[in-house]
Structure 1
Amino acid sequence: MLKGKIDYLKKTTNEDGVVAALAIDQRGSLKKMLAADGRDDANAIVEFKELASEELTKYTSAILLDPEYGIPGMKVRDSSCGLLTSYEKTGYDATEKGRLPDLLPTYSVKRLKELGADAIKILLYYDVDEPADINDIKHAFIERIGSECVAEEIPFFCEFIAYDDTIPDAKSYEFAKVKPHKVIETVKEFSKSRYGIDVLKLEVPVNMDYVEGFNHGNEIAYSREEALNYFKQQSDATKLPYIFLSAGVSTKLFLETLKFAHEAGAQFNGVLCGRATWREGVEPFAKNGEEAGREWLQTVGRKNVETLNKVLKDTAVSLFDKLS
């Protein structure tokens, strides 16, 4: 790996070489959450991101923000906190087949670096079972961004969300059954050096709501042993550093999932934790204003982050061990 990339990675990790990062680059989904609680304006998105950055980056190794609404948040982050920036447009064009990605039109890796980024993040919706002509577009798309990041010597974090358009409900039992295959095969594909990815940002390979012992009355899609095996398969599928995303689950379930991954022997290198950290703070902010939101972040939000940091101390391994 280029020395410049390693130097930047050090800015995004904690003293253990682990990514303990806060993700708040949500745009469309955050707008819906705020609107549901009575704040249906663009300023609310900017203000909440800024508030979360100001209050929570004292306890995180990095923060992920978008340049559309997150620049004020970038400016108030703690001086010890690294910055990851989103490069893709939010969502995808639902009128086209294949959930094809697109970039923010007025940004480039060079411009995001000039904005202060320590790493570039891309989200890609990917189905290994899509027709080759669709996936080839996505492969070329990631190759281009990888080349940009090499040219600028800045780390490339790539996030993958599995899907299957024949199973519309990604939270269903039916999708839970196919998810391990889709997630693990995606890891294998994008671990190839041609893509220039430095850190994989991954979903866990199962839906924990259908794991024996975690299912709370739901139908069981995987025994406990099967689920542990899928976590190990995912880890063994790559030599790249990888981190987990929280995927909007509760804080409690996310922490339990990290412990489960560790039990499986998964060699993961941290997290980019989003809504599991801050989603419950949206309501007091939207309904009662900045001070109510700040109080929630200073108390419950801080506790969520510090509890997560303690779990990472016991479960995650140094990213730099893999690079060496």
Structure 2
Amino acid sequence: MATVTMGKGKLAGIEACADENGVIAAAAMDQRGSLQKAIAKARGENGTASAEDLAAFKTAVTRILTKDSSAILMDPEFGLDAIKARAPGTGVLLAYEKTGYDATVKGRLPDVLPEWSVRRLVENGADAIKILLYYNPFDDAHVNTIKHAFIERIGAECAAIDAPFFLEPLAYDDSIGDEKSFEFAKVKPQYVTKYMEEFSKPRYGVDVLKVEVPVNVKFVEGSRAYGGQTAYTRAEAMTHFKDAASAATKPFIYLSAGVTDEIFRETLELAAEAGTPFSGVLCGRATWPDAIPIYAREGTAALEAWLEDRGLQNIHLLNEVLAKGAKPWWTIYGGKENIQVVG
């Protein structure tokens, strides 16, 4: 296999986010608007959540869950103090994008936080930069041209600073609607495979793809999460995993996409059974969502008690699945010896 060239800073940043085996077992805590709404909702009618609530929640999650995580994904808006509470040796990914998107404009177009740059994020502790991108490979060409150019700019900015670029594409199709629906489950494999192929191209400068699994396990016949509607048999689901993985030429890790910890673990077990060379996870809401109402109603001490008990248990169970199925991030390159470090 041909060697690949990688900057010294990019290599160091990825290794900071991975464990000693080259597996990325990262916790995601960059939720902003969605977390604020969830805390407010848990406080009942007319409930609110302040910036201080977000900072307190993020700090508790970071301090406790990084005991058994290789890295933490955080936002610079509410989380800079939180990352100071992380366990020693924990890598830091900082989100560069604005939360959400402008629903009044077609295409779910991305934007960055205007007061930040890759340089400033690195200066504030980032080992790697993360961008979320809503992406429909079959959208209007004009919409996708805007998105392709946007990712090219981010890739170039990361290359200039020699910082790793983690890209999180999220598949959608406004003509279908709900991404958790049966209708979308049937087309999801094709959408995920397409974007893994697209953003593996060197022109984008992506170092690690943070991707969705290509199936919705609730519609996999015979799965523990199966709800009665079949979008794919177990054999078909494994084929979808293999097809999506074969489209990637960059290391990739899976996101939990808001499913429960049990469903996410089953999904990863299916990926491993299919022989998918995924290199870990960036897992948020599959780990800590049940803590939101506890914090909202009972405060920080109750939140910390839950995290020390159930939160760490969720992390331990997830790490057991990763130990059996995940591959080192350099596997996609045929081994670490095939990486030529420059700079």
Same fold (TM over 0.5): yes
Alignment of 1:121-270 (within 5 A): 121-214=130-223, 216-270=226-280
Instruction: Judge conservation of contact 1:24–1:274 (CA < 8 Å) in 2.
Output: yes
Aligned mates of 1:245, 1:171 — CA distance in 2: 15
* Structure 1: gaps of 5 or more residues: none
Q: Out of 294, 305, 320, which is 2:315 matched to?
A: 305
Judge conservation of contact 1:55–1:298 (CA < 8 Å) in 2: yes
Mapped partners of 1:321, 1:224: distance in 2: 26
**SS, match of residue 84 in structure 1:** strand
Q: Which moved more, 1:34-43 or 1:152-161?
A: 34-43
Residue of structure 1 in register with 2:87 after alignment: 78
TM alignment of 1:11-90, pairs within 5 A: 11-38=16-43, 39-90=48-99
Partner residue, 1:114 = 123
How far has the Cα of 1:50 moved from its partner? 0.7
Query: Partner letter of residue 59 of structure 2?
Result: E
Q: Which amino acid aligns with 2:160?
A: A
TM-superposed CA distance for 1:285, in Å, is 1.1
Q: Match of 2:3?
A: none
Cα distance, 1:124 vs structure 2:
0.1
SS of 1:161's partner is: strand
Aligned length: 324
Give the residue type in structure 1 aligned to 2:253.
I
Q: Deviations over 1:43-88 (max 9, x none)?
A: 1111100110011111100000000111111111112100000000
1:180-237 CA deviation, whole Å, 9 max, x = no partner?
1111011111110000000000000011111111353331011111111000011111
Q: For structure 1, which segment, 89-98 or 304-313, has the greater mean C-alpha deviation from structure 2 after superposition?
A: 304-313
Q: What is aligned with 1:10?
A: 15
Look up the equivalent residue of 2:155 and give its one-letter code: G
The alpha carbon displacement at 1:31 in A equals 1.0
Q: In the alignment, is the contact (CA less than 8 A) between 1:58 and 1:80 conserved in 2?
A: no
The TM-score, its normalising length taken from structure 2, stands at 0.93
- Alpha carbons 2:55, 2:79 under 8 Å: kept: yes
**Alignment gaps of 5+ in structure 2:** 1-5, 339-343
Q: Which amino acid aligns with 2:36?
A: K
Within 2, Cα distance between the matches of 1:101 and 1:75? Answer: 28
Which of 262, 269, 287 does residue 277 from structure 1 map onto? 287
Distance in 1, Cα, partners of 2:227 & 2:92: 40
Instruction: Report the Cα offset of residue 40 of structure 1.
Output: 2.3
- Write the distance in 2 (CA, Å) between the matches of 1:106 and 1:219: 46
RMSD of aligned Cα (Å): 1.0
Cα deviation digits, residues 100-139 of structure 1 (max 9, x gap): 0000000000000000100000000000010111100000
Structure 1 partner of 2:341: none
Instruction: Give the aligned partner of residue 329 of structure 2.
Output: 319
| Structure 2 residue identity aligned to 1:233 | D
Distance, in Å, in 2 between the alignment partners of 1:144 and 1:223 is: 40
Does the aligned pair in 1 maintain the 2:93–2:129 contact within 8 Å?
yes
- Quick check: 1:150–1:196 contact (8 Å CA) kept in 2? yes
Letter in 2 for 1:104: L
> Identity of counterpart residues, as a percentage?
52
* 1: CA distance, partners of 2:271 / 2:226: 19
**Contact 2:208–2:253 (Cα < 8 Å) also in 1:** yes
Q: Which amino acid aligns with 1:4?
A: G
| Residue identity matched to 2:286 | A
Q: Which amino acid aligns with 1:221?
A: A
* Aligned AA (1:45): L
Tell me which moved more, 265-274 or 281-290: 281-290
